[in-house]
Amino acid sequence: ESEDTDCALFDSDGDGDLDLYVASGGNEFSSASSALADRLFLNNGRGIFTKSPQILPAGRYESTACVRAADFDMDGVMELFVGIRLVPFLYGVPSNGYLLENDGKGQFTNVTAQLAPELKEVGMLRDMQWEDVDGDGDLDMILAGDWMALKVFINENGSFRESQDAFGSSSSGWWNCIATGDFDGDGDSDFVAGNHGLNSRFKASPERPVTMYVNDFDLNGSAEQIICVYEGDSAYPMALKHDLTRQIPVLLKKYPNYESYKEQTITDMFAPEQLSSAIQLDVNQLESCLFINDGAGHFTMKPLPIETQFSTIMAAATGDYNGDGNLDLLLGGNLYNVKPEVGRYDASYGHCLEGNGKAGFTLVSPLLSGFRLGGVIRDIRTIHTANGAVLVVARNNDPLQLFRIQAQ
């Protein structure tokens, strides 16, 4: 049975009703498993859906993180971006993003190589948003993911190139989500990106990043991932001795006890050629941030209030929730399924941030806002009903939480 990771409702076949694309993902299935196939369900106009026989997104089975529909080439037909989370059983190996062209009848063709070749092995994607970041009237792409910098791809007459100057400095992080909007009131598109936060054992900076090495260190045919953090000027593996030697038994000869293992750097443990041949991924930014657009697609990074850094931010939503004409921000997160020595991330009860229209936010207490979340938050969406707007909060292994937005 497939694990549903995202979905998109859009009219794929031009018949005036909404069809449903469901993304499949996770790290439990191999690349030979049909459980990783994304699914397109076509609506007959009466709410009855029929599964399309297409193997999506690109004719093979991959672990999908996100799907976003948009008419990026302005031909009147909705196309798709599909972002791949990871290569099954090879966490750390960069995966692909795909552009799928629609023939107008719900049949999709992978046109990534022709229109956006830089999406090949772009990274381990978590989220993507379509937005006109450079103000030229067409839709560009903003991408976020694990162990990667935020990326902007500029639309040039229906083809895309990665912007090399969208950000003034490197922004490599564990980016989880993106929410767009004009937060400073200047008429262009800014965005917020949710990150790991600052309340953990992980500390990162450009000078002392968190680093992951991915390689088959023991030559047994499967890759190992070794995460390192800095103490002083040296990088040390985060893994406890018994965990690392269980995964790489050849290290038992070198480190028979904890005394021999302590104070060993990554360069003490492995030969230079083992590290140089590994995939090396660095993270230098862990704060969740607001990115302010100058109108031409160049962004200035501004950390969100310190209270939002107490836990991971996995979900973000924007809207004028208090009716003052300025965009506000709702955030949720937490992460429970982690190793005991790291400690679970549970310090967030949701955040309601009132915007001032000048790229500033004021945190509103849950007692005043009524927006108090529990559990592991994975998405926040707004549904418009006959009785007003409702916030729907998706939680991992928990029921949905619903909040009615009260008129001011």
Is residue 391 within 8 Å of 402, Cβ to Cβ?
Answer: yes
User: How many Cα atoms within 13 Å fall on the side-chain side of residue 240?
Assistant: 6
Same domain membership, residue 196 and residue 214 = no
The pLDDT value given to residue 406: 85
Are 270 and 139 part of one and the same domain? no
Residue 366 lies in a domain: yes
Helix (H) / strand (E) containing 267: helix 266-269
Say how many CA atoms lie within 13 Å of 71 toward its Cβ: 12
The predicted-structure confidence for 4-44, as pLDDT tens digits, reads as follows 999 999 999 999 999 999 999 998 899 999 999 999 999 99
In three-state form (DSSP H/G/I as H, E/B as E, the rest C), the secondary structure along 288-322 is CEEEEECCCCCEEEEECCHHHHCCCEEEEEEECCC
| Residues 365 and 301 occupy one common structural domain | yes
CA separation for the pair 97, 56 (Å, rounded): 13
Give bridge partners of residue 339 from the DSSP assignment: none
Q: 59 and 154: one domain?
A: yes
pLDDT in tens, 364-403: 999 999 999 999 999 999 999 999 999 999 999 999 999 9
Q: What is the pLDDT of residue 169?
A: 79
- Write down which residue in 282, 308, 336 finishes a domain: 282
Domains held by the chain: number = 2
pLDDT score, position 218: 93
Q: What is the CATH number for 193? A: 2.130.10.10
Q: Both 347 and 377 in a single domain?
A: yes
Task: Tell me how many degrees the CA angle 165-168-172 measures, rounded to the nearest 5.
Answer: 95
Residue 331 lies in a domain: yes
DSSP state of 36: G
Please confirm whether the linkage preceding 57 is cis (ω < 30° from 0): yes
**What pLDDT is attached to residue 168?**
81
Q: Which domain holds residue 278?
A: 210-282
Are 129 and 230 in the same domain? Answer: no
Residue carrying the six token digits 């399309």: 52
Same-domain status, 101 and 189: yes
Assess if residue 94 is contained within a domain.
yes
pLDDT in tens, the chain (408 residues): 889 999 999 999 999 999 999 999 998 899 999 999 999 999 999 999 999 999 999 998 999 999 999 999 999 999 999 999 999 999 999 999 999 999 999 999 999 999 999 999 999 999 999 999 999 999 999 999 999 999 999 999 999 999 999 998 778 999 999 999 999 999 999 999 999 999 999 999 999 999 999 999 999 999 999 999 999 999 999 999 999 999 999 999 999 999 999 999 999 999 999 999 999 999 999 999 999 999 999 999 999 999 999 999 999 999 999 999 999 999 999 999 999 989 999 999 999 999 999 999 999 999 999 999 999 999 999 999 999 999 999 999 999 999 999 866
Distance (Å, whole) CA 258 – CA 243: 12
Based on the fold, state whether residues 161 and 250 are members of the same structural domain: no
What pLDDT score was predicted for residue 407? 65
In a shared domain, residues 127 and 188: yes
Those residues with Cβ within 8 angstroms of residue 181's Cβ, 6 or more apart along the chain or in another chain:
189, 190, 191, 192, 318, 327
Together in a domain, 170 and 151: yes
Residue 205 lies in a domain: no
Q: Return the pLDDT at 408.
A: 61
Do 42 and 140 share a structural domain? Answer: yes
337 and 261 in a single domain? The answer is no
Q: Indicate the pairing of strand 224-231 with strand 210-215.
A: antiparallel
Nearest-angstrom CA–CA distance, 4 and 45: 24
Q: Which of 258, 282, 306 corresponds to the end of one domain?
A: 282
Q: What per-residue confidence (pLDDT) applies to 32?
A: 92
